[in-house]
Amino acid sequence: MMDERFYEEYFEIEDSHWWFVGRRRIIAAALDRHLGAHDATDRRILDVGCGTGYMLGFLGHWGEVTGVDADPAAVAYSHRRGFTNVHRLESDALPFETGSFDVVSAFDVLEHVEDDGRMVAEMAKVLKPGGTAIVTVPAYRALWGRQDEISHHHRRYARRELRRLLIRAGFDVERISSFNTILLPPIAAVRLSRRLVSRRLDGEMGSDFSMTRTGRVNDALARIFGSEAALVRRVDLPFGVSTLAVANRGAVVGSP
């Protein structure tokens, strides 16, 4: 969960803000590589931590999508977008039968969850044997900043930590790639400067997204970030602001 006042901001900017636009292009490249053709109507997809619901429509190109989120505000925003197949997560257990889905996604979700091992194990449980999980998380503890606090993050991940988390839950890790690589230096500089300013202002700062919501700079950043999609489709990038993992559920589901 995150501060509820920021849901409205995200609801308004997810279709156009450079970070969301670029991330979708990266995710689309990974989905095309690992799932294949669009419009596979017999493929069942679960989006864990669906937030305001924008990704539910996006994922609909690859199958029939169900959403789940622990925050009732997020579920309400998904309903505002017109998605009715969205469930409230009211415990540590995903409210679906074992082996219900072909694909489970968690886009920048695990860092919000106190017991991330339990959540990944639940994702494995609801996947069919051989099913695919696709996960994105923020990278590098050194990049911790005001946005992590606003978003109620518990952690940022090293690649080896994410790999270990997936393997413990019974996944066979197919790939782990960094992304948002080109913009890492300026983002790191902004994160550091905002962290220093935030201390002086006792933390009273808006989200990072408020800095570049529209205009030519936003559009240019979207093009730069999105240009990495062609690379991610072919190779694993060694460093970046975020990390993407694709893993397959093994025959035996592990436990955290």
Domain ranges of the chain: 5-249
Q: Are 250 and 172 in contact (CB under 8 A)?
A: yes
Q: What is the pLDDT of residues 22-79, one digit of tens each?
A: 999 999 999 999 998 666 668 999 999 999 999 999 999 999 999 999 999 999 999 9
Question: What pTM value is reported for the model?
Answer: 0.90
For domain 5-249, say whether CATH 3.40.50.1110 is its number: no
pLDDT on residue 40: 65
Say which amino acid occupies 27. I
pLDDT band at 145 (very low <50, low <70, confident <90, very high): confident
Residue written as tokens 């948002």?
180
Question: What's the rounded Cα separation, in Å, for the pair 251 and 173?
Answer: 13
- Scored b (16 or more CB within 10 A) or e, 103-125 reads bbbbbbbbbbbeebbebbbbbbb
3-state secondary structure 39-51: CCCCCEEEEECCC
